[in-house]
Amino acid sequence: MSPSPLPRIAWIGLGIMGAPMAENLLKAGYPVAGYTLEAHKLDRLAAHGGTPAASVREAVRGADVVVTMLPADREVTAVVLGEDGVLAHARTGALVVDMSSIAPRTSAGLAVEAAARGLRMLDAPVSGGEAGAVEGTLSIMVGGEPADFDEAEPLLRALGTTVVRCGPHGAGQTVKAANQLIVAANIQACAEAVVFLEKSGVDLSAALDVLGGGLAASAVLSRKRDNFLARAYAPGFRIDLHHKDMGIVTAAAREVGAALPLGGLVATLVAAARAQGDGGLDHSALLRGVERLSGTTRNAA
Ligand code: NAD
């Protein structure tokens, strides 16, 4: 008996993360139809063997699994619930996997809407950045029904190495919000260390080497090391998106009565970076904020 064919995928949102993730599914043999707003990103999908679609409606027609990888709550809600959107045009029984980072409350609400129309939904946000998306080594945190997770798991394993169901609808987003709190605080601490080390006249490269071998080691320190050394801030992960995520984590924490004193401060620093015009830069550019405060502003590479 020949093995059953892989599910047909519709991929909505082919940005910094979505494009390489969709390409990894193509490499794993999944048929992928895609839609995103920019034409050149659809050309890139076609060049990797995918099928560009002219609309969400066209992309999701006949799909078994619909994946969304969109900027924020507004875009996900419009694409899922809109007149020309996923729930209106995907087949009954299809599985919708939203991999964007949005508010847990929004994810839980969309899952209810999906169920009312005979579709199933998972929230499956990711961590690992652009490099993790390209390498297929993302960490994927999932919320939703266990049976739906089991169905999605082989597909998710083509995108990431750590794939964990964290609980019911919205739980994946709650874990992602915690992730973003940890990452922002870590970047801010690394940025402060960089300015402190340079002002003290210590060789920064040597210092980062030895810090990376001790308790201060982190994925942030190793992945963002070159950004710090070269002041190279091409995204990566834009400060605008991290600002959105700090809004999600501070609001969600407030709803459950969790105090985030450090998180609140870091959220303000991320907002300040954006207000200073750095929103389009990689989040490692939080270093620029520390430099401004320390009177040592350098131009971005
Ligand atoms: P991006 O801005 O590069 O890409 C978003 C894509 O969504 C764009 O290509 C755009 O065409 C598409 N889009 C927007 N509205 C649309 C619509 N109505 N219909 C179809 N397509 C639409 O963003 P990204 O960096 O890929 O991030 C996507 C999500 O992943 C965000 O929620 C972000 O927070 C999260 N995330 C990003 C990273 C990272 O390192 N970039 C890491 C982890 C998680």
Q: Into how many domains does the chain fold? A: 2
**Which atom number of ligand 1 is nearest to the Cα of residue 235?**
41
Query: From the CA of 18, how far away is ligand 1's center (Å)?
Result: 7
Distance, CA 237 to ligand 1 centroid (Å)? 10
Domain match, 157 and 191 both: no
Same-domain pairing of 52 and 154: yes
User: What is the tally of helices (H) and strands (E) in the chain?
Assistant: 14, 9
Q: Quick one: CA dihedral 19, 23, 24, 29, positive or negative?
A: positive
Give yes or no for residue 17 CB within 6 A of ligand 1: yes
CA-CA-CA-CA dihedral for 187, 105, 70, 52, to nearest 10: 150
One domain, residues 140 and 184: no
**CATH number of the domain that 257 lies in?**
1.10.1040.10
Residue pLDDT, tens place only, 213-261: 999 999 999 999 999 999 999 999 999 999 999 999 999 999 999 999 9
Do 149 and 184 lie in a common domain?
no
Q: Is residue 301 part of a domain?
A: no
- Residue nearest to ligand 1 atom 34, measured at CA: 101
Catalytic residues, by residue number, are 176
Is the CB–ligand 1 distance for residue 101 below 6 Å?
yes
In a domain, 299, yes or no: no
Per-residue pLDDT tens digits for 62-110: 999 999 999 999 999 999 999 999 999 999 999 999 999 999 999 999 9
Task: Give burial (CB, 10 Å; 0-12/13-18/19+) of 14.
Answer: buried
Q: Which domain holds residue 219?
A: 175-294
Tokens 């007149």: give the residue: 83
**Same domain? 138 vs 259:** no
Report CA(242)–ligand 1 centroid distance (Å).
12
Q: Using CA positions, which residue lies closest to atom 15 of ligand 1?
A: 75
**Alpha-carbon distances of 181 from 67, 72, 74, 106, 185, rounded to whole Å:** 25, 17, 21, 19, 6
Whether residues 163 and 187 fall in one domain: no
